[in-house]
Amino acid sequence: DAKTTQPNSMESNEEEPVHLPCNHSTISGTDYIHWYRQLPSQGPEYVIHGLTSNVNNRMASLAIAEDRKSSTLILHRATLRDAAVYYCILRDNTGNQFYFGTGTSLTVIP
């Protein structure tokens, strides 16, 4: 069974904020929430991660629900270079088991 569920696709206008949701209702207390993105014909690249508190970095923000059963990746101003598949991932506390969802394909409209 999938550990994370995400919408298959989303669209956003350029320079507008994008909220990418993820459900992970079976998350355990020690699982970290990671987000990676994958550009066409490339390997995934790290975006952001968190455990319980909301997180910000130069690429994005991560909002984690209080019960930790869902999270949202926020891109503050979408650019054409942000068009990619975004994966919500649970990582176990050993740091070695990463469980990818099926991802959300983000289209950015100029």
Partner 1 sequence: NAGVTQTPKFQVLKTGQSMTLQCAQDMNHNSMYWYRQDPGMGLRLIYYSASEGTTDKGEVPNGYNVSRLNKREFSLRLESAAPSQTSVYFCASRWGFEQFFGPGTRLTVL
Q: Note the residues at the interface with partner 1 (CB under 8 A).
A: 32, 34, 36, 41-46, 49, 87, 89, 91, 94-103
For partner 1, the closer CB: 94 or 110: 94
**Cα Rg, the chain, nearest whole Å:** 13
Residues 19 and 77 sit within 8 Å (Cβ to Cβ): no
97 or 107: whose CB is closer to partner 1?
Answer: 97
Give the whole-angstrom CA distance, residue 91 versus residue 72. 16
Query: With respect to partner 1, which residue has the nearer C-beta, 79 or 93?
Result: 93
Q: 67-101 burial string, b = 16+ CB within 10 Å, else e? A: ebebbbbebeebeeebbbbbbbbbbeeeeeeebbb
Minimum distance from residue 98 beta carbon to partner 1 (Å): 6
Q: How far is the CB of 15 from partner 1 (least distance, A)?
A: 28
Closest to partner 1 by CB, 95 vs 110, is 95
Query: Minimum CB separation from partner 1 for residue 67, in Å?
Result: 22
* DSSP-assigned beta bridge partners for residue 40: none
